[in-house]
């Protein structure tokens, strides 16, 4: 059983209370007790923002060259995660980029802007035909 309650108003807390009151005992009796975790609510980024970021990576893949080589959008994504978000250590001593899914909408927007700026300034990528998540056209 899953439920998500974002507490913005009294009616949200009342709904959470009603849900717990109605279900906790039955779940516990079935050997499946409910667990409650309280965290800050983060807005998930839209599929439009994801599509925009993927379009940015695609143009970097098509235009960017480093020491005579081109790299896939996935390779660029991994590099940008490590450079702009951070990385996690692996058991074998290696590292991988921290997932961009850990970013809220504002952080992801800033991350995407940093990727675009890096690609334009350091790699000479000229972005064309990109519609920003807000509907504006990228410069």
> In the predicted model, is pLDDT for residue 102 greater than 80?
yes
Q: What pLDDT, on the 0 to 100 scale, is given for residue 40?
A: 75
Say which CATH class 47-123 falls into.
Answer: mainly alpha
Q: What pLDDT, on the 0 to 100 scale, is given for residue 129?
A: 77
pTM score of the predicted model: 0.65
CB contact at 8 A, 65 and 59: no
Residue ranges of the chain that CATH labels 1.10.3790.10: 47-123
Q: What pLDDT, on the 0 to 100 scale, is given for residue 3?
A: 72
In Å, the largest CA–CA distance within the chain is 65
CB contact at 8 A, 109 and 50: no
Q: Give the model confidence (pLDDT) of 23-55 as tens digits.
A: 999 999 999 998 888 877 767 778 899 999 999
């Amino acid at each position: 059983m899953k439920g998500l309650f974002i507490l913005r108003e009294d009616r949200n807390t009342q709904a959470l209370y009603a849900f717990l009151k109605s279900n906790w005992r039955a779940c516990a009796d079935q050997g499946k007790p409910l667990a409650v975790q309280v965290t800050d609510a983060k807005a998930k980024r839209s599929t439009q923002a994801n599509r925009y970021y993927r379009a940015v990576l695609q143009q970097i893949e098509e235009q960017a060259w480093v020491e005579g080589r081109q790299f896939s959008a996935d390779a660029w994504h991994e590099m940008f995660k490590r450079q702009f978000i951070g990385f996690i250590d692996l058991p074998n001593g290696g590292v991988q980029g921290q997932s961009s899914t850990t970013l809220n909408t504002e952080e992801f927007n800033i991350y995407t802007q940093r990727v675009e700026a890096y690609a334009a300034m350091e790699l000479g990528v000229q972005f064309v035909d990109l519609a920003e998540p807000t509907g504006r056209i990228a410069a």
